[in-house]
Structure formats: C-alpha cells, structure tokens
Amino acid sequence: MAEILIAGVGATDFGDHTGRTGRELFAEARSSALEKSAVPRSDVDALYYGNYMGETAERQSHQAPLMSSGVGTTDLEATRVENACASGGYAVADGVRAITSGEADVVLVGGLERMTPLGTEETTAALSRAADELHEGRPGLTFPGAYALLADAYMERFGGSREDLAHIAVKNHANATTNPKAQFQSEIDVADVLEAPSVADPLGVLDACPITDGAAAAVLVSGEYATENGLEPAVAITGSGRGTETLSLQERGELTRTRAAESAAQAAYDRAEVTAADVDVAEVHDCFTIAEVLALEALGFYEPGAAITAARDGETTRDGTLPVNLSGGLKAKGHPVGATGVGQLVELTTLLEGTHPNADAVPDAKVGVTHNAGGTVATAAVHVLEVAK
C-alpha cells in the first residue's frame, strides 16, 4: 500500500454539547487537525465525512458541502459517508483509498454526531434503523437486545459470566479517568456493573455505551507530499480493510463470530504486512461489553471463546500484554456514532506518537489497530497504524 501519513489530528471533547451545533463541533475538530498538520488548507483535495443521524437529530442532510465550507478552499471533493456506527471508519478508509489510488495527495477525514437533542427514546429508535427493519425493527428488537442475544449465544457456546463482562467496563472506565476528552472520567467497580439496572439480560446499563455528542478529524497525506513539503508525521496508516456480513442476525450462520470484522482485519493486516501478533495496542468498538470480546477474537488476538476473560485476567488492561481501549473506548469515552471511527484514529495516533495522556502505558508501541463496527457488526472497518520509519 502507498505510504499514507497522518499529518494532524483533532477532536472535541466527547459528551453532552447542548447549545452547540454540529457544524460548530466539526469546525473545532477540523481546525485543530488542519492546524496541527501544517498543511495549507488550499492543498486539501477531498473531504470524507462520517455522519449517521444528522437528518433526525439536526434536520440536516447533505452535510458534506456544509462541513467542507470551512476548509478554506472550494476546489475539493466533499462526500458524506454513512455506514451506521462504522461511518467514521469508512470515511477513513475512503481517504486511504483516494491517496492510494493517486486521486489525492491530501485528504481530510472526519466525523460528527449530535445525539443528545433526541433524548434516550428517540436516539434508541434512530439507532435501531441500522438494523434489519423487517426482521428486527418491526418486532421491536433494539441494539441492547441484539447484543444481549450475541452475549447469550457466546456464553452458551463458550462459557463466561456477567462478571467477566463487568471487568471490561471497569477497565475502560479506569482508562477514561485520565483522558480529558472522555465523557465518563470516573472509576467504577465490578459490583457497580453487576448491580446496575438491566437493559437486556445479561447486559446492564454499565455494559452499554452512552449517548454522546462529538466530532473528530484527521489530515492524511501521501508520502510523496510529505517529502516535498518537509513534513515528518510520526504515524502512518499502513493497512486498511473493510468487511460486510448479512444485516439480519437470523440470516447468519452463527452469532459468536463477527465475520465482517474478521475479513476487514485480514485485509488490513495483509496490506500492512503484519499479523495480530505484531500489534502492541488496540482501540476497538465496545458499544457493549460483549462487543469488545467479539472484536478481540475477530482481530485475531484470541481464539474463539478465549477473549471473555481477557480483561478479568489483566491481559487487556493498561499494564497488560495488549492494552485495549486506553482512550476509555466507546463505553467510557463515548460514542458519537459518525465520529467514533475517526476518534479511534485520533486516540491511537496520539498514543503511538507519545502525546496521549495514557501513552506512558505503551511507551514502546510501534503497531496499533483500530476496529470500528456498524450495527451488530454487519459492516466493519479496520486500520493498522505504525510509527513512521
């Protein structure tokens, strides 16, 4: 794959941004990324922008030209990317493809979601449209219930317990306490998780990510552009992959694997010429605690049935052999849907370059992976990031 460097990243705090518009939030993230990149705005060739529920939350569709208007040039391609919760990851993948193909030298990738204007009931309804309307939406299945089905299937086949899942939530909250951009910066313990109200057995409130507002952006440049303009970014995207599985759960052969993520990961690893064993740190899509388990196995870090105890055994904690979600993950950092995949890129970039508040947990990390999933992982985008040589 052609050399693709991350010249600059930026993000808002994730949380409740009542009183701010989506365009204001994205402008903050976009401006931060562009300023850090030292790339003239007039050099930006394209914008790929992830957003899922703008029509519902802000009554605003056709957002790409709106969000590109502050870049500083009108001579660019602007495209909105929608793939449910994987919208941001797919925006990054589109940016990678544009540079790899030679169509662009400088790409701005980003994402935004404002969810709090809708409230819990309306947000749940909006999110449910990312599932199969006929087989899941009409019967009333929402994502807490869908992921509860995945958790039940997993535990029935492989074992594991609610307490194992609780350790994932505890780990990610602990990581978020030192991340100033995280929505929840307070620790919890296993008892808190187990005693929290149930949302869909075996998942409780503290097994689920929150409703979140936020934006994130990154400036990607070709290696040739960086050389010609004297840029020396610290981190590169060396592999990018996407995968798809059937939307409806009932059409899948099994519920204990996420094949979209498996194929996306393999494509990313192949392009980067690495394996799962080479990865030092990961940011994965933990919209529910069981989702982190499924992600770790799809990414090849664990054999099927083995990841359920990873957090409990301390293997994925900040002091473990493979720190996962040092940002706090979706669970504690927050999940502004369209921004999440780009937000993962921002977090991992700063971890690898040593500027993240939790970078001390991985001082020697050279290779990292982001994993962004849509719906019940009907779509997935995986990116391999490496310290630039």
Q: How far apart are CA 221 and CA 351, in angstroms?
A: 19
Whether the Cβ atoms of residue 79 and residue 49 lie closer than 8 Å to each other: yes
Q: CATH code for 4-118+210-387?
A: 3.40.47.10
Tokens of 298: 């799809």
Whether the Cβ atoms of residue 218 and residue 9 lie closer than 8 Å to each other: yes
Sort strands 367-374 and 106-113 into parallel, antiparallel or unpaired.
Answer: unpaired
Whether the Cβ atoms of residue 142 and residue 132 lie closer than 8 Å to each other: no
- The predicted structure's pLDDT at residue 130: 96
Q: What are phi and psi of 213, to 5 degrees?
A: -105, 150
Q: How far apart are CA 294 and CA 380, in angstroms?
A: 12
Please list the helix, strand and coil fractions of the chain in percent, rounded to the nearest 5, in that order: 40, 20, 40
Tokens of 130: 């990312």
DSSP count for the chain of H helices, then E strands: 13, 11
- The predicted structure's pLDDT at residue 191: 98
Whether the Cβ atoms of residue 86 and residue 374 lie closer than 8 Å to each other: yes
CA dihedral (153, 331, 218, 95) in degrees, to 10, reads 10
User: How do the domains of the chain map onto residue ranges?
Assistant: 4-118+210-387
Cβ-based neighbour number of residue 186 at 10 Å: 10
Q: How far apart are CA 25 and CA 41, in angstroms?
A: 18
Whether the Cβ atoms of residue 287 and residue 85 lie closer than 8 Å to each other: yes
- The predicted structure's pLDDT at residue 1: 72
Q: Is the dihedral of CA 204, 308, 379, 138 positive or negative?
A: negative
- The predicted structure's pLDDT at residue 72: 78
Q: How far apart are CA 332 and CA 197, in angstroms?
A: 17
- The predicted structure's pLDDT at residue 119: 85
- The predicted structure's pLDDT at residue 77: 95
- The predicted structure's pLDDT at residue 142: 95
- The predicted structure's pLDDT at residue 291: 98
- The predicted structure's pLDDT at residue 236: 98
Tokens of 12: 């808002």
Q: Is the dihedral of CA 252, 253, 258, 260 positive or negative?
A: negative
Tokens of 331: 């669970």
Cβ-based neighbour number of residue 59 at 10 Å: 8
In DSSP terms, 387 is beta-bridged to 235
Would you please indicate which residues are annotated as catalytic (active-site) residues?
85, 335
Q: In terms of DSSP H, where are the helices of the chain?
A: 22-37, 54-57, 63-68, 87-100, 119-128, 143-158, 162-176, 190-195, 223-228, 259-272, 289-298, 329-332, 337-353
Could you read off the pLDDT tens digit of each residue along the chain, which spans 389 residues? 779 999 999 999 999 999 999 999 999 999 999 999 999 999 999 999 999 999 999 999 999 999 998 887 778 999 999 999 999 999 999 999 999 999 999 999 999 999 999 989 999 999 999 999 999 999 999 999 999 999 999 999 999 999 999 999 999 999 999 999 999 999 999 999 999 999 999 999 999 999 999 999 999 999 999 999 999 999 999 999 999 999 999 999 899 999 999 999 999 999 999 999 999 999 999 999 999 999 999 999 999 999 999 999 999 999 999 999 999 999 999 999 999 999 999 999 999 999 999 999 999 999 999 999 999 999 999 999 999 97
- The predicted structure's pLDDT at residue 322: 98
Tokens of 45: 């060739």
Q: How far apart are CA 145 and CA 59, in angstroms?
A: 28
